[in-house]
Structure 1
Amino acid sequence: MNHYTRKDILRLVEEEDVGFIRLQFTDIFGTMKNVAITTSQLEKALDNQIIFDGSSIEGFARIEDSDMYLYPDLDTFTIFPWRPQQGKVARLICDVYKPDGSIFEGDPRYILKKVLSEAKASGYDFNVGPECEFFLFHADEDGRPTTLSHESATYFDVGPFDLGENARRDMVLTLEDMGFVIEASHHEIAPAQHEIDLQYGEALEMADNIMTFKMVAKTIAKRHGLHAAFMPKPKYGISGSGMHINMSLHRDGVNVFADAKDERGLSREAYYFIGGLMKHMKAVSFITNPIVNSYKRLVPGYEAPVYIAWSAKNRTPLLRIPAVKGTSARVELRSPDPTANPYLAFAVCLAAGMEGVRQEILPPASIDCNIFEMTEEQRERAGIEKLPGSLLEAAGEFKKDPYIQSVLGEDLSRKLIQAKEKEYADYRAQVTEWEIGRYLHRM
């Protein structure tokens, strides 16, 4: 991450001929928002004097106390390489504050900062590495997204089978122009499905990067006449898109999850972290899998996890220990999907894991066979529980977990529960094509 001063920002804007600056922030549902200013207003922005109507952002504020201020994080300054090279467009990611100068407690970025600060007070830094999957579909003649693709490529295929190869390459090159380090990119298992892996890093920076990555992917896809879809399960009968999160704790730059003496290369802290995640996983799912469609991905038969278990030997459990040791030791959580608000997702994962570390919660025995091939009786004997089967179930589990609610705070927790229960009620009231096809001619 760059470290900029106010003077640096003013100099860069002048030297790079920046004409427009986007002040960006993320709402509680993980949607990027922004207000754009010209360079004539930059000093005002750097003085934290840009105001916006918080009551117009769903879940942010009441109409009675709607004024909110954007405080730019100077280290997030970057120039968009796809915009004009004269009068360039740059951005600054902002924190949200109230008029009295206090932080807005419902700002997702603040919530992650708070949990990171609490971990830091215990001597830990939290590093993550996301694996972001998405589909590239055709747009129609009006530019609206479809679920159509001429492609039939599958895992790790190359062109000409991989028809999205050029768009994916341009995404990677654009991200690298913006200072990202991309570890890998490839075609995924389903037709038209792709993955771009961002380099492991500090959690706040990585949450910022995920929001920027999604914007870049959509922008570059559109230039190729395509639509980048982060919907978890856009089509029946194929694998859905996840956002696996690789996690580790560090102290003084050393990965504390590593222990060369352990058969799996894991330390006691790593096992405790797994234990904390497993204890709170049902409630965590409400944040890591936040929409109705999320739970159509979490079904047997498509590689996505369904059962709450861990293993170092296969990919069917929820938590996987990759076959790396030493400085690369980590825990991979496989249930999150790309609709998750990354700030809130990282916050609840860290908080759950840290409770495991503080309380020394050991996980149950690892499940080193294919969980999907076990019988229901075998899973019951092994004490293997399921993830929530729907958004409504996940909301119910979240309501039963006061610790995970405390991470978000009472007000934000209440707003999310209300919004998501309404979303599920709206969904349940719909009559789908599946119902028409199955019942209309028979009933």
Structure 2
Amino acid sequence: MSTELRNFLELSYEELEELNLAAKEQRRKRVPADVIQEERLKYLTDQKGIKAVTVLFSDLEGRLHTLDYDKKFLVKSFDNLTFDGSSIRGFTAQRESDLRLGIDWSSFYYAPADIFGSGKALVFGEVIDKNGASYSGDLRGVLKNFAQTLFDEQGYTLNAANEIEGFLFAGTDAEKKFHETGKFEYVNTGGYYHSLPGDPLRTFIDTTAEVQRALGFENEKDHPEVAPSQFEINYSYGDVLTAADQIQLYKLICRQVATKMGMTASFLPKPVVGVNGSGMHTNLSISKNGKNLFWDPKGEEKLSSFGWKFVDRILSHGNDICLLLNPSVNSYRRLDPHFEAPNQIKASAVDRGSMVRIPIGNEKSSRVEVRSVAPDANPYLVLYSIFKSGLHGELAKIKNIRQAERYLPDNIYTALENFRGASWTSTLLGEDVKARYADLKQASADRCPRLLGTFVKPSEVQFHHEVYNQFLWNQF
């Protein structure tokens, strides 16, 4: 169909980056929500080239959902949006299906037309229960409220940066077709840092990085990873909610770019046995009045006593929250010590097999890195559970937890048992959400072989929460 008579907004990547960085600065400065709302509504009203707004939210497992609202309708009805929560896995039951969708105007993104469609903007939504409160199953809302409370009561700003690895495979829908093909096909076998200019992997990385920059990610570096066809595209740290949103956008961008190239971007933690898996190393720090509370030039590894207590509480609850950081059957293949697996419940400045690493840092960059996180985990749940465990968790009654010979589970059934049996996970999520999450993970596990074995089984992929659709699941 001809588009000659259409006049929808298409901004250059340079213009987009400028607009999105300005929006990001408003979040950093904590500009009041009503001020930002008024500004965004005025933009949408005045900008005739915008036709629709894509509202994004995530379910309990972290699967991203999108709804497109006509711009004129949204401007008039943004405070009265409803949707059927019973259609979202892990949300309400059919008998209590109605939920509201609020708009978090501070998380507004000006979108590249070639990736998201012309005349569109993006904004993250907030799921609201029938009583007007944040919905307990919407972990984005839980994380946002948790971070805001810490800032209001203690002046803490929670910061995070995530290093998200993935694979680029030949063909579209490679994961959905895995039960038919039984294999993933590499597009590059160069390995760590090695990809020739113009080859498929390098083109994919370059294109994805350009889109990220346009969305205000503030990129730092990108490169092929150790395994064949594996990639990592790094960007700057941000406040905890922005960091979690950017993880969802990162994966969405990667998948969209790959699809446009006739390929598949996969965030399965271990799609191919025999090569390194993909992780989502999660770097964390806490600041107050602009001061990094993890920094102490005289501390052990230059980490403050506040920082070490944060680390020790995470280690104490390592087995309790393992299912939240490694939520799929496939993710336990990655916790394999033969491939630099971060499966040891200890902290180290040098040992990459440790669950927590203390990177070299300075007053600005001092942080702790939780290495055991899988890229298919719900980012809101990950950051919430790690920060809350580090700040409010208990200390293990072990003489030196950093040297204890303990390991994370090597299978999802053990992780499920630890999760269900831990009182801490009830404190984190509440009994209702905890039970829903465990039931979802149990259902996936029970559709897969109990023993992982030496090759990836079709059911691991077919019933993976990020690959899920009704067509595939109905083949069980």
* TM-score, length basis structure 1: 0.88
Q: Deviations over 1:209-237 (max 9, x none)?
A: 11111111111111112110000000110
Indicate conservation of the 8 Å contact 2:273/2:455, yes or no: no
1:194 aligns with 2:231: yes
Aligned match of 1:21: 53
The 10-residue stretch of structure 1 (138-147 or 8-17) with the greater mean CA deviation from structure 2: 138-147
Aligned match of 1:96: 127
Aligned match of 2:241: 204
Aligned match of 1:391: 412
Task: Pick one of 368, 371, 374 that aligns with 1:331.
Answer: 368
1:62 aligns with 2:93: yes
Aligned match of 2:281: 244
Task: Pick one of 415, 418, 423 that aligns with 2:444.
Answer: 423
The 10-residue stretch of structure 1 (104-113 or 185-194) with the greater mean CA deviation from structure 2: 104-113
- Using the alignment, how far apart are the partners of 1:433 and 1:327 within structure 2? 44
How has the CA–CA distance of structure 1 residues 162 and 333 changed in structure 2, closer, same or farther, with 3 Å as cutoff? Answer: farther
How has the CA–CA distance of structure 1 residues 141 and 249 changed in structure 2, closer, same or farther, with 3 Å as cutoff? Answer: closer
Q: Deviations over 1:326-373 (max 9, x none)?
A: 2211111100011100000001101110025x879998375xxxxxxx
Aligned match of 1:81: 112
1:108 aligns with 2:139: yes
Q: How many angstroms does 1:273 deviate by?
A: 0.5
**Secondary structure at 1:304 match in 2:** coil
Letter in 1 for 2:400: P
Q: How many angstroms does 1:304 deviate by?
A: 1.9
Aligned match of 2:310: 273
Aligned match of 1:409: 430
- Using the alignment, how far apart are the partners of 2:241 and 2:155 within structure 1? 17
How has the CA–CA distance of structure 1 residues 113 and 427 changed in structure 2, closer, same or farther, with 3 Å as cutoff? Answer: same
Task: Pick one of 293, 299, 313 that aligns with 1:256.
Answer: 293
Indicate conservation of the 8 Å contact 1:116/1:126, yes or no: yes
Identity in percent: 29
The 10-residue stretch of structure 1 (422-431 or 29-38) with the greater mean CA deviation from structure 2: 422-431
Aligned match of 1:178: 215
The 10-residue stretch of structure 1 (312-321 or 409-418) with the greater mean CA deviation from structure 2: 312-321
Aligned match of 2:465: none
Q: Deviations over 1:307-328 (max 9, x none)?
A: 1111113322111111122221
How has the CA–CA distance of structure 1 residues 359 and 125 changed in structure 2, closer, same or farther, with 3 Å as cutoff? Answer: farther
Aligned match of 1:371: none
Letter in 2 for 1:391: I
Letter in 1 for 2:194: D
How has the CA–CA distance of structure 1 residues 11 and 62 changed in structure 2, closer, same or farther, with 3 Å as cutoff? Answer: same
**Secondary structure at 2:135 match in 1:** coil
1:213 aligns with 2:250: yes
Aligned match of 1:12: 43
How has the CA–CA distance of structure 1 residues 423 and 251 changed in structure 2, closer, same or farther, with 3 Å as cutoff? Answer: same
How has the CA–CA distance of structure 1 residues 389 and 158 changed in structure 2, closer, same or farther, with 3 Å as cutoff? Answer: same
Q: Deviations over 1:399-435 (max 9, x none)?
A: 2221232211211100011111121111137998969
Aligned match of 2:71: 39
Letter in 2 for 1:41: F
How has the CA–CA distance of structure 1 residues 362 and 332 changed in structure 2, closer, same or farther, with 3 Å as cutoff? Answer: farther
- Using the alignment, how far apart are the partners of 1:181 and 1:141 within structure 2? 30
Letter in 1 for 2:97: S
Aligned match of 2:165: 133
- Using the alignment, how far apart are the partners of 2:61 and 2:116 within structure 1? 33
Indicate conservation of the 8 Å contact 1:44/1:50, yes or no: no
Q: Deviations over 1:45-102 (max 9, x none)?
A: 43x2111001111111012221111100001111320448995111110111123322
Indicate conservation of the 8 Å contact 2:113/2:119, yes or no: no
- Using the alignment, how far apart are the partners of 2:240 and 2:364 within structure 1? 17
Indicate conservation of the 8 Å contact 2:168/2:187, yes or no: no
**Secondary structure at 1:219 match in 2:** helix
**Secondary structure at 1:318 match in 2:** strand
Aligned match of 2:400: 364
- Using the alignment, how far apart are the partners of 2:398 and 2:404 within structure 1? 14
Aligned match of 1:378: none
Aligned length: 419
Aligned match of 1:374: none
- Using the alignment, how far apart are the partners of 2:140 and 2:373 within structure 1? 18
**Secondary structure at 1:305 match in 2:** coil
**Secondary structure at 1:278 match in 2:** helix
The 10-residue stretch of structure 1 (257-266 or 242-251) with the greater mean CA deviation from structure 2: 257-266
How has the CA–CA distance of structure 1 residues 118 and 394 changed in structure 2, closer, same or farther, with 3 Å as cutoff? Answer: farther
Indicate conservation of the 8 Å contact 1:72/1:95, yes or no: yes
Letter in 2 for 1:109: R
Where does structure 1 lack aligned partners over 5 or more consecutive residues? 367-381, 437-443
Letter in 1 for 2:138: D
- Using the alignment, how far apart are the partners of 1:90 and 1:329 within structure 2? 35
How has the CA–CA distance of structure 1 residues 246 and 162 changed in structure 2, closer, same or farther, with 3 Å as cutoff? Answer: farther
Indicate conservation of the 8 Å contact 1:136/1:226, yes or no: yes
The 10-residue stretch of structure 1 (346-355 or 426-435) with the greater mean CA deviation from structure 2: 426-435
- Using the alignment, how far apart are the partners of 1:315 and 1:434 within structure 2? 25
Q: How many angstroms does 1:388 deviate by?
A: 1.1
- Using the alignment, how far apart are the partners of 1:421 and 1:144 within structure 2? 21
Where does structure 2 lack aligned partners over 5 or more consecutive residues? 1-23, 27-34, 179-183, 458-476
The 10-residue stretch of structure 1 (10-19 or 57-66) with the greater mean CA deviation from structure 2: 10-19
- Using the alignment, how far apart are the partners of 2:314 and 2:174 within structure 1? 45
How has the CA–CA distance of structure 1 residues 361 and 177 changed in structure 2, closer, same or farther, with 3 Å as cutoff? Answer: farther
Letter in 2 for 1:37: Y
Task: Pick one of 214, 220, 229 that aligns with 2:266.
Answer: 229
**Secondary structure at 2:195 match in 1:** coil
Indicate conservation of the 8 Å contact 1:244/1:334, yes or no: yes
1:148 aligns with 2:196: no
Q: How many angstroms does 1:114 deviate by?
A: 3.3
